[in-house]
């Protein structure tokens, strides 16, 4: 488990890497394109990156036959949920908050690449951080 200082450093790399991908690719592409590019960018920066991570659904201690899927998991600690949408909706924000709780992770990012300036599509979420 990484300490807060390390997580903050990873966060900076994720933001910088996301900006680099957005600068290179621009808005208007499919989410899957941005996922491939961001995974490559973060890997080139020396980070451990996994994609399409299933999280089993539990209800009252029972494991149910349903998985949620995390788009990107960085350093086994940080969840990244990608979007390429006209605007981020409250349901998208609720999704990342739920993923943080279900996966018991402390830090996550919701990144919408379909914006003129990426800083307007980049949002940080915490869970007991």
What's the Cα-to-Cα distance from 15 to each of 18, 76, 115, 122, rounded to whole Å? 5, 17, 15, 8
Per-residue pLDDT band for 2 (boundaries 50, 70, 90) equals confident
Residues in contact with 16: Cβ distance below 8 Å, sequence separation at least 6, in sequence order: none
For 4-126, CATH gives 3.40.1350
Per-residue pLDDT band for 128 (boundaries 50, 70, 90) equals confident
* Section 65-76 average pLDDT: 94
Query: For residues 108 and 94, is the Cβ–Cβ distance under 8 A?
Result: no
Question: What does the domain layout of the chain look like in residue ranges?
Answer: 4-126
pTM, full prediction: 0.92
Count CB neighbours of 117 within 10 A: 10
Q: Rounded distance, CA 129 to CA 127, Å?
A: 5
């Amino acid at each position: 488990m990484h300490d807060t200082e390390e997580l903050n450093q990873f966060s900076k790399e994720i933001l910088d890497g996301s900006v680099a991908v957005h600068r290179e690719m621009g808005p208007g592409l499919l989410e899957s394109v941005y996922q491939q590019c961001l995974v490559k960018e973060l890997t080139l920066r020396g980070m451990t990156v996994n994609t399409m991570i299933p999280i089993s659904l539990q209800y009252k201690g029972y494991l149910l036959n349903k998985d949620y899927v995390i788009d990107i998991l960085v350093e086994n600690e940080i969840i990244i949920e990608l979007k390429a949408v006209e605007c981020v909706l409250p349901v998208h924000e609720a999704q990342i908050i739920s993923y943080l709780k279900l996966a018991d992770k402390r830090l996550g990012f919701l990144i919408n690449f379909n914006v003129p300036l990426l800083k307007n599509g980049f949002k940080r979420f915490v869970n007991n951080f």
